[in-house]
Structure 1
Amino acid sequence: MCDPVTHREPHATIEDARAGGHDYEIVEPSASPILESLRAFGYSPQTALADLIDNSISASAFEIRVQLHWMGSSSWISITDNGDGMDEKTLVAAMRLGSQSPLNDRSKGDLGRFGLGLKTASFSQGRQLTVMSRTPKAENLHVRQWDLDVVQRTDEWRLLTEAPSEISESMAELLPDSGTVVALGKLDRMLDKVFGAESAGSQADFLKIVDSVRRHLELVFHRYLSRSRPVRIWVNGQQLIPWDPFLRSHMATSTTGKESIWLAGYEVVVEPFVLPHKSKLSEAEHEAAAGLDGWNASQGFYVYRKDRLLVGGSWLGVGGAKEEHSKLARIAIEIPSTLDHLWQVDVRKSSIKAPSGMLGDLRRIARATKKDAEEVYRFRGKQTASRLAKEYVVAWDAIGHRSGGTSYRVNRRHPLVADALSDGLVNKTAVERLLRFVEETVPVTQIGIAVAESLDSTKGPFQDEGLEVRDQLEFMHQRQIAKGKSSSEALDFLATAEPFIYYLEIVQAFREDLE
């Protein structure tokens, strides 16, 4: 590591001289600790490879081949594209940390952000990064390699100008007439994270990574894959098929259209979707539309930047909890790269935070879309309730008295109350005493005054507590089954009782989850 070098700038003015001049030292960072720390950005294999593909797309590539080569502990990864390629000067600049400032304006097709992605994504998985490239009609290949073991041994910023023959020969075979091959070797983090050490089952685990990478990329780049002049991507020889989270092509998908929201002088476009009920989908369509983690996890906002998905299936802290009866709600957001700093786009381009100036609009759109999605289940729940046409079981009975006035009694026929009174482990007398105490101390007068003063804002049973309603439903469903009812009979019965009569969409979603 170089020792600090002291410089003294010439005084530009007398004032500068009086201020003591501009003495300073150049303090170069220690190479090995810096590069090792860059490995801790939190990439998964899927997000790392997506970040590397960003570079290929930025280089105008329209064919990109990702190959995870299984060779036990010597396994390696290659990403090959037919893009513009790089001359030697450009390649060296690309291998430099912070090759471009996030403050610089980028071209329309440039998906970069910090000038770190090539290095941080690669080092997150392995200790060796080799890049081979050539420009159109160029005779020479250009190669550069970072090897963290070399940097650790020397503690110098040694960017190697050649790679071992076994690596360079394999890469040269992959390289097209114009384009770039990125090779990741010494995959300590990827291999250790997945299976620890080489064993009989390691190759199967490695192939699971291949499948998860494929599915992740089909989502992240689905807009590129489905363009009229598409970018084509292969993972281990299998061409990717775009996965549209909004089922735009399905006639039963509904949308209220695009809405423009202006932030700091730039347009953010939001488009809500309500996906079809599973009765409108084939079994294969329903399974595919569930996404990587299932229907419930896939609801929420999908944030795009230059058609590249940054975050999918998140309510961004403004849409409330992910509930079963709102799982058909998905909302697309397109943000310009000029607002990266306000959205706090991270190095991995897989984490963001909604700007404070948009929280109100996003909350409004999320609530409206979730309400529309819930209406799909509410409608079907009403159909079921209409078919049953049974008398509702209320929680409280109003008792009129000859002397005038009304008192209220807990309905002993309500399934939750009846269950408590019939439980052999519970002291029935104690429960009755508790119910009578509650009945006789209900502050009817205070409630009447409060309701009269704020009738429009009075909360209904379990209002805004959908998860608790779901928990209550699940508990009572199991109790009714324990008493001899079938699952369907139990739900039919509970759908006629408070509070579930007000939340038929939750009952219906729960019913369908059990089917």
Structure 2
Amino acid sequence: MVETIKLEPDAGLVKSLGANHTLESAIADLVDNCLDAGATKIAVRLLTDNDRLVQVEVIDNGNGMDSSSADKAMTLGHRREYAHNDLGHFGIGMKAASFGHADVLTVWSSKYGATPVGRRIQRADFSKDFSCEVLSADAAADADAHRKRVTGAGRGTSVVWSELRSTYRGANTEEARTWMANAEIGLRSHLGVTFHRLIAKDVLDIDILVDELEYADEGIGTPVKPLDPFGYARSGHPAYPKAVVAESGDEQITLHCHIWPPKVDIPGFRINGKPGDRFQGFYIYRNDRLLQVGGWSEVANSSAHRQLARVMLDEETAIGSFLTMNPEKAGLRFEPIFRDALAHAAAKDGTTFDAYLKDAEACYVEGNRRVSQRQPVIAPDKGFAPKLRKSIEAELPLLRSDSLNLQWKLLPESEFIDVDFGNSTLWINSRYRYLFAPERRSLNDAPVLKALLFLLTHKVFEGAHLGPKDKDNILLWREILGSAVEAEEIMRGE
């Protein structure tokens, strides 16, 4: 070594900040900052002008910041002292989340005992020399008063995005409104599932307001409801959930393996309106914040038969050794140590991870077997042999309100059947009786013929009246069966 030099980061890296953030993940990252600041109430405001999104505000009732803290918060890569339960991790969250979607980031904050402060970063300037604008105390006081009206608190922070790049830019108003509606639905779903534990525990209240910028201060936000990806009422398999332990050296993690009940399509299984089969896999939590919503992360393959399988991992010690978190907090990298440990993981009863997947597949297959539900039919009565009647009653549920007779009667030549709907009777032409009952002519003769005619015609007698379709079917049967019985006579040489 000849010498040591310091290589300062190029401000141009700002242009790529937040490239992997969706609108939902970016706002969730801002919510993380609010929680780290001790916030219990967070207002997310999506403000429009002529139905186009023009401003995003995330306002909290947290501890707030003084001038020094605000400067550090706006510094790219500044890493404060993180507590063990903080959701922040990299020191770039707010900047990356903001510049992934907006060209101007403004932060207003107020802390007990300190003068309200304001800071603003223009993305174009920040990408040249990391410059940040200090805003006036009067403007900060106005922002403080606005925040009090929104959250009811005397302290807190407001993060404002303007000059947005994430918005509908076409000329079609209906398209713009649809885009905005979908954006709100997607955001509600994402925040609802990401923070579902905190919302359900009543330690966090998030509301979302979508309104025109001019009238937003008169609006009231709608609370985000928790969306629990494990919120089934009853397990799909009696042996689950089951704890499967994965070990590597002195380290171990517990995977809580769940199997959803089959044929369930409720919020929680279905997320953001998308079918539940897309959300099989791992659910990774850190301090009750959901970091990964499903996906097998290349340790297993997705398949329709595995759609009921969801695995919960909520041990903070897993992150950093078994798993690595990305800056967007949207999914994790599963390290080789995790893959190796998973191959030998087992529950107390010896169930391996592979056995768990097979159980989930079997549960899906069994739950989706087609169960034939036969509809009730009119009860057989006169003309049916006792054995035939019992067979029909054993195989089909019966309508007890009426019964069907199958009897012989002289009809015109070439007609084989006649439907007497009013008397619930199907008449068979006695001219051709000898073809089907040549030896013994009894009330219950020709059981095979009568069974076939019953299966063909019973629905006609089960309605309140003969509809057009019924009448057309009767004409069809008469024509075809009439031709068939004439052919039968010819073939027998009669």
TM-score by structure 1 length? 0.61
Partner letter of residue 160 of structure 1? E
Residue of 313, 336, 352 corresponding to 1:356: 336
Partner Cα separation in structure 2 for residue 163 and residue 344 of structure 1: 41
- Structure 1 segment 372-411 matched on structure 2, within 5 A: 372-380=359-367, 384=371
Residue of 161, 177, 180 corresponding to 2:154: 177
Match of 1:209 in 2: 183
Q: Does 1:219 align with 2:200?
A: no
Q: Conserved in 2, the CA contact under 8 Å of 1:267 and 1:335? A: no
Q: Conserved in 1, the CA contact under 8 Å of 2:235 and 2:259? A: no
Partner letter of residue 361 of structure 2? E
Q: Which secondary structure does the structure 2 equivalent of 1:51 belong to?
A: helix
Q: Conserved in 1, the CA contact under 8 Å of 2:269 and 2:279? A: no
Q: Which secondary structure does the structure 2 equivalent of 1:286 belong to?
A: coil
Q: Deviations over 1:6-51 (max 9, x none)?
A: xxxxxxxxxxxxx87x5x55554443x12212242x1100111111
Match of 2:77 in 1: 98
Match of 1:239 in 2: 223
Partner Cα separation in structure 1 for residue 70 and residue 249 of structure 2: 35
Partner letter of residue 48 of structure 1? A
Match of 2:123 in 1: 148
Q: Does 1:340 align with 2:320?
A: yes
Q: Does 1:313 align with 2:294?
A: yes
Cα separation, partners in 2 of 1:222 and 1:74, compared to 1, 3 Å: closer
How many angstroms does 1:286 deviate by? 3.1
Cα separation, partners in 2 of 1:184 and 1:337, compared to 1, 3 Å: farther
Q: Does 1:327 align with 2:307?
A: yes
Q: Which secondary structure does the structure 2 equivalent of 1:120 belong to?
A: helix
Partner letter of residue 180 of structure 1? T
Instruction: Tell me the percent identity.
Output: 25
Partner letter of residue 321 of structure 1? S
Match of 2:259 in 1: 274
Partner Cα separation in structure 1 for residue 328 and residue 280 of structure 2: 22
Q: Deviations over 1:53-90 (max 9, x none)?
A: 11111111111111111125671101111111111111
Gaps of 5+ in 1: 1-18, 388-515
Cα separation, partners in 2 of 1:148 and 1:335, compared to 1, 3 Å: same
Partner letter of residue 115 of structure 2? N
Q: Conserved in 2, the CA contact under 8 Å of 1:300 and 1:329? A: yes
Match of 2:469 in 1: none
Q: Conserved in 2, the CA contact under 8 Å of 1:305 and 1:337? A: no
Q: Does 1:158 align with 2:131?
A: yes
How many angstroms does 1:110 deviate by? 0.5
**Structure with greater proportional strand content:** 2
Partner Cα separation in structure 1 for residue 157 and residue 258 of structure 2: 38
How many angstroms does 1:98 deviate by? 0.8
**Structure with greater proportional helix content:** 1
Q: Does 1:88 align with 2:45?
A: no
Q: Deviations over 1:391-429 (max 9, x none)?
A: xxxxxxxxxxxxxxxxxxxxxxxxxxxxxxxxxxxxxxx
Partner letter of residue 69 of structure 2? T
Q: Which secondary structure does the structure 2 equivalent of 1:340 belong to?
A: coil
How many angstroms does 1:186 deviate by? 1.0
Q: Does 1:257 align with 2:242?
A: yes
Match of 1:131 in 2: 107
Q: Does 1:68 align with 2:46?
A: yes
Cα separation, partners in 2 of 1:107 and 1:164, compared to 1, 3 Å: closer
TM-score by structure 2 length? 0.63
Cα separation, partners in 2 of 1:202 and 1:74, compared to 1, 3 Å: closer
Q: Conserved in 2, the CA contact under 8 Å of 1:62 and 1:230? A: yes
Q: Deviations over 1:441-473 (max 9, x none)?
A: xxxxxxxxxxxxxxxxxxxxxxxxxxxxxxxxx
Residue of 86, 93, 106 corresponding to 1:117: 93
How many angstroms does 1:303 deviate by? 1.3
Q: Deviations over 1:121-143 (max 9, x none)?
A: 1100101111111113x352111
Partner Cα separation in structure 2 for residue 381 and residue 326 of structure 1: 13
Cα separation, partners in 2 of 1:199 and 1:167, compared to 1, 3 Å: farther
How many angstroms does 1:272 deviate by? 0.7
- Structure 1 segment 37-48 matched on structure 2, within 5 A: 37-40=16-19, 42-48=20-26
Cα separation, partners in 2 of 1:172 and 1:203, compared to 1, 3 Å: farther
Q: Does 1:35 align with 2:19?
A: no
Partner Cα separation in structure 2 for residue 368 and residue 35 of structure 1: 47
How many angstroms does 1:322 deviate by? 2.1
Match of 2:33 in 1: 55
Q: Deviations over 1:329-387 (max 9, x none)?
A: 111112416733652211101131222222245356543332222222443467859x9
Once superposed, what is the RMSD of the aligned Cα atoms?
3.1
Gaps of 5+ in 2: 210-220, 346-351, 375-494
